[in-house]
Protein backbone atom coordinates (compact mmCIF):
# COMPACT_ATOMS: atom_id res chain seq x y z
CA UNK A 1 0.00 0.00 0.00
CA UNK A 2 1.11 3.59 -0.62
CA UNK A 3 1.21 6.01 2.33
CA UNK A 4 1.90 9.69 2.92
CA UNK A 5 2.80 10.43 6.54
CA UNK A 6 1.72 13.82 7.86
CA UNK A 7 4.09 16.19 9.63
CA UNK A 8 2.54 15.53 13.05
CA UNK A 9 4.04 12.02 12.90
CA UNK A 10 7.72 11.19 12.82
CA UNK A 11 9.49 10.36 9.55
CA UNK A 12 10.41 7.15 11.38
CA UNK A 13 6.78 6.05 10.85
CA UNK A 14 7.38 6.20 7.09
CA UNK A 15 10.60 4.24 7.52
CA UNK A 16 8.80 1.60 9.58
CA UNK A 17 6.11 1.19 6.94
CA UNK A 18 8.81 0.94 4.27
CA UNK A 19 10.56 -1.76 6.27
CA UNK A 20 7.26 -3.68 6.29
CA UNK A 21 7.20 -3.55 2.48
CA UNK A 22 4.98 -0.53 1.87
CA UNK A 23 5.62 2.51 -0.29
CA UNK A 24 5.67 5.27 2.32
CA UNK A 25 6.81 8.87 2.16
CA UNK A 26 6.77 11.67 4.71
CA UNK A 27 5.52 15.17 3.86
CA UNK A 28 9.05 16.44 4.59
CA UNK A 29 10.26 14.38 1.59
CA UNK A 30 8.21 16.79 -0.57
CA UNK A 31 9.05 19.99 1.26
CA UNK A 32 5.49 20.07 2.66
CA UNK A 33 6.34 20.16 6.37
CA UNK A 34 4.65 23.55 6.79
CA UNK A 35 2.06 23.11 4.04
CA UNK A 36 -1.64 23.71 4.50
CA UNK A 37 -3.80 20.62 4.97
CA UNK A 38 -5.34 21.10 1.52
CA UNK A 39 -1.88 20.82 -0.10
CA UNK A 40 -1.11 17.65 1.84
CA UNK A 41 -4.44 16.11 0.78
CA UNK A 42 -3.77 17.12 -2.82
CA UNK A 43 -0.37 15.40 -2.77
CA UNK A 44 -1.85 12.22 -1.30
CA UNK A 45 -4.64 12.29 -3.91
CA UNK A 46 -2.26 12.92 -6.82
CA UNK A 47 -0.03 10.00 -5.82
CA UNK A 48 -2.90 7.72 -4.74
CA UNK A 49 -1.52 7.47 -1.22
CA UNK A 50 -3.35 6.89 2.05
CA UNK A 51 -2.70 9.88 4.27
CA UNK A 52 -1.66 8.87 7.80
CA UNK A 53 -2.10 11.60 10.39
CA UNK A 54 -3.10 12.44 13.94
CA UNK A 55 -4.93 15.56 12.70
CA UNK A 56 -8.73 15.26 12.62
CA UNK A 57 -8.97 18.30 10.32
CA UNK A 58 -8.43 16.01 7.32
CA UNK A 59 -11.72 14.22 7.95
CA UNK A 60 -13.47 17.57 8.23
CA UNK A 61 -11.97 18.73 4.92
CA UNK A 62 -13.00 15.55 3.13
CA UNK A 63 -16.53 15.81 4.52
CA UNK A 64 -16.86 19.50 3.61
CA UNK A 65 -15.88 18.85 0.00
CA UNK A 66 -17.68 15.53 -0.46
CA UNK A 67 -14.40 14.02 -1.68
CA UNK A 68 -14.08 10.30 -2.35
CA UNK A 69 -10.30 10.32 -2.02
CA UNK A 70 -7.70 10.20 -0.65
CA UNK A 71 -8.28 7.72 2.15
CA UNK A 72 -7.06 8.86 5.55
CA UNK A 73 -5.88 6.83 8.54
CA UNK A 74 -6.17 8.87 11.72
CA UNK A 75 -4.06 7.62 14.58
CA UNK A 76 -5.63 8.58 17.90
CA UNK A 77 -4.37 8.67 21.48
CA UNK A 78 -0.73 8.53 20.49
CA UNK A 79 0.63 10.94 23.06
CA UNK A 80 3.87 9.55 24.41
CA UNK A 81 4.04 6.70 21.90
CA UNK A 82 7.22 6.05 19.97
CA UNK A 83 7.18 5.80 16.19
CA UNK A 84 7.72 2.03 16.36
CA UNK A 85 4.57 1.67 18.49
CA UNK A 86 2.56 3.74 16.01
CA UNK A 87 3.84 1.61 13.12
CA UNK A 88 2.88 -1.55 15.03
CA UNK A 89 -0.66 -0.21 15.58
CA UNK A 90 -1.01 0.68 11.89
CA UNK A 91 0.29 -2.67 10.69
CA UNK A 92 -1.83 -4.64 13.18
CA UNK A 93 -4.98 -3.06 11.74
CA UNK A 94 -4.06 -2.75 8.08
CA UNK A 95 -5.38 -6.11 6.88
CA UNK A 96 -8.78 -5.40 8.45
CA UNK A 97 -9.16 -2.06 6.66
CA UNK A 98 -7.16 -2.47 3.42
CA UNK A 99 -10.24 -2.95 1.24
CA UNK A 100 -11.92 0.09 2.83
CA UNK A 101 -8.85 2.23 2.20
CA UNK A 102 -8.73 1.13 -1.43
CA UNK A 103 -12.40 2.10 -1.91
CA UNK A 104 -12.03 5.40 -0.04
CA UNK A 105 -12.46 5.77 3.71
CA UNK A 106 -11.51 7.58 6.85
CA UNK A 107 -10.15 5.01 9.27
CA UNK A 108 -9.65 6.02 12.88
CA UNK A 109 -7.30 3.65 14.66
CA UNK A 110 -6.20 3.32 18.26
CA UNK A 111 -4.23 0.72 20.15
CA UNK A 112 -7.13 -1.72 20.49
CA UNK A 113 -9.96 -0.27 18.40
CA UNK A 114 -10.79 1.14 14.99
CA UNK A 115 -13.63 2.90 13.18
CA UNK A 116 -14.24 3.05 9.45
CA UNK A 117 -16.23 5.77 7.68
CA UNK A 118 -16.63 5.29 3.91
CA UNK A 119 -16.06 8.25 1.61
CA UNK A 120 -17.73 10.43 0.64
CA UNK A 121 -18.96 11.46 4.05
CA UNK A 122 -22.61 12.23 3.52
CA UNK A 123 -24.51 14.81 5.57
CA UNK A 124 -27.09 13.42 7.98
CA UNK A 125 -30.60 13.18 6.55
CA UNK A 126 -32.77 16.19 7.30
Write the CA distances from 89 to 27, 39, 60, 103, 113, integer angstroms: 20, 26, 23, 21, 10
- Is the pLDDT reported for residue 125 higher than 80? no
Please give the pLDDT value at position 78. 72
Mean pLDDT of 50-73: 94
- Beta-bridge partners for 51: 4, 72
DSSP 125: P
Mean pLDDT of 19-34: 97
Write the CA distances from 93 to 35, 76, 101, 114, integer angstroms: 28, 13, 12, 8
Q: How far apart are CA 101 and CA 31, in angstroms?
A: 25
% of the chain surpassing 90 pLDDT: 86
DSSP 9: S
The interaxial angle of helices 57-65 and 37-46, nearest 10 deg, is: 70
- Is the pLDDT reported for residue 61 higher than 90? yes
pLDDT in tens, 100-113: 999 999 999 988 88
pLDDT in tens, 80-102: 789 999 999 999 999 999 999 99
- Is the pLDDT reported for residue 67 higher than 80? yes
Average pLDDT value over all residues in the chain:
94
**Per-residue confidence at 10, pLDDT binned at 50, 70, 90?**
very high
Q: How far apart are CA 56 and CA 101, in angstroms?
A: 17
Mean pLDDT of 21-50: 97
- Beta-bridge partners for 115: 108
Amino acid sequence: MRFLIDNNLSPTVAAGLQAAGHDAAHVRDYGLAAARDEAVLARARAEQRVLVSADTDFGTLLAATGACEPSVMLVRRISGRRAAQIVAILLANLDAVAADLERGAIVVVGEDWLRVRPLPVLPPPS
